[in-house]
């Protein structure tokens, strides 16, 4: 699907507003009701959606924008998230024809696999930055419970983002059809 600059700008704006709302929800509301250690990374779902659906040279900049907005609410660096997002989107580009998004279950499985790959990349980069791999598994394991919840939510989340990015029925082969 071809995107005009206005479509990209509006999609980016809507996506960033959704991400800000979700980040406020996970960093302010959840801790206020006693859920302190559960902070799902919705930015990862957004980047995965963009990598699945958005075939445009502007994709790395959209990943940067998404990670930068996420970094406002997190201590995680936007640079590491951007690098991981670009690496994942490149791998998705090569594997896109092999992936199936025809059902919600297949979407959940594919999203879970790529979230785990994302978190392995993040854990490796953080371990390199720390200078030791002693805490690799503790860093990686921190992300796993949230990834299951995000994977289950991904079909609904992708439907919402489809509307933001105006992914039409002509692109249904690469979309979730529930």
The string of pLDDT tens digits covering residues 33-66 is: 888 888 888 999 999 999 888 888 888 999 999 9
Closest Cα to residue 74, out of 34, 22, 123, 124? 22
Q: What is the pLDDT of residues 140-150, one digit of tens each?
A: 788 888 899 99
Give a yes or no: residue 131 inside a domain: yes
Tell whether 177 is covered by a domain: no
Q: Is residue 74 part of a domain?
A: yes
The residue range of the domain holding 10 is 5-164
Which ranges of the chain would DSSP assign to H, the alpha helix? Answer: 5-24, 30-32, 42-53, 59-72, 78-95, 104-130, 136-164
Q: Tell me how far apart the alpha carbons of residues 103 and 167 are, in angstroms, rounded to a whole number.
A: 17
pTM, two decimals, is 0.85
Residue 120 lies in a domain: yes
Predicted pLDDT at 78: 76
Of 94, 75, 88, 99, residue with least CA distance to 23: 75
Is residue 169, in this structure, part of any structural domain at all? no
How far is the CA of 73 from the CAs of 19, 21, 66, 130, 160, in angstroms?
A: 10, 11, 12, 22, 22
């Amino acid at each position: 699907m071809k995107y005009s600059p206005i479509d990209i700008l509006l999609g980016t704006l809507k996506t960033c507003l959704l991400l800000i709302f979700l980040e406020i929800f996970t960093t302010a509301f959840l801790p206020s009701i006693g859920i302190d250690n559960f902070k799902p990374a919705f930015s990862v779902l957004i980047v995965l959606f963009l990598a699945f659906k958005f075939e445009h040279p502007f994709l790395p900049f959209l990943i940067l924008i998404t990670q930068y907005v996420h970094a406002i609410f997190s201590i995680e660096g936007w640079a590491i998230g951007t690098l991981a997002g670009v690496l994942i989107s490149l791998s998705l580009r090569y594997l896109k024809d092999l992936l199936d998004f025809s059902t919600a279950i297949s979407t959940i499985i594919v999203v879970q696999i790529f979230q785990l790959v994302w978190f392995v990349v993040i854990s490796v980069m953080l371990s390199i930055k720390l200078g030791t791999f002693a805490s690799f598994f503790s860093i990686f394991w921190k992300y796993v419970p949230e990834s299951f919840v995000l994977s289950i939510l991904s079909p609904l989340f992708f439907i919402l983002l489809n509307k933001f990015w105006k992914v039409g029925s002509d692109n249904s082969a690469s979309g979730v059809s529930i």
